[in-house]
């Protein structure tokens, strides 16, 4: 799984399958930004999307910034 790290901790990662891709920011970020996820299937840790219904760039950025903030606050 391609993974981006920040300060030695996993920041985000993603997977791809035949029918969808899944973006994994953090469960905290998903909880915080859940109101922006209408139209996407979610799990506790991931957000599924397709090429026909991709995640918008600004939403991906919001997830990354939210998790960076949590890592900076040393949240575990």
Q: Give per-residue pLDDT as tens, 34-46.
A: 999 999 999 999 9
pTM for this model (two decimals):
0.89
3-state helix, strand, coil in the chain (%, to 5): 35, 30, 40
CA angle 10, 39, 26 (to 5 degrees): 15
The total number of structural domains that make up the chain:
1
Beta carbons of 26 and 67 less than 8 angstroms apart: yes
pLDDT at res. 41: 96
Q: Which residue range(s) make up the domain with 22?
A: 3-72
Report the CATH number at residue 28.
Answer: 3.90.1150.200
Q: Give per-residue pLDDT as tens, 14-69.
A: 999 999 999 999 999 999 999 999 999 999 999 999 999 999 999 999 999 999 99
pLDDT at res. 70: 93
Centroid of chain to Cα 59: 9
Q: Does the pLDDT of residue 11 top 90, yes or no?
A: yes
């Amino acid at each position: 799984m391609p993974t981006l790290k920040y300060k030695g901790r996993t920041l985000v990662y993603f997977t791809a399958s035949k029918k969808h891709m899944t973006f994994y920011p953090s469960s905290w970020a998903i909880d915080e930004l859940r109101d922006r996820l209408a139209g996407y299937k979610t799990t506790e840790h991931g957000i599924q999307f397709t090429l026909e219904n991709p995640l918008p760039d600004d939403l991906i950025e919001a997830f990354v910034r939210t998790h960076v903030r949590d890592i900076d606050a040393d949240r575990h």
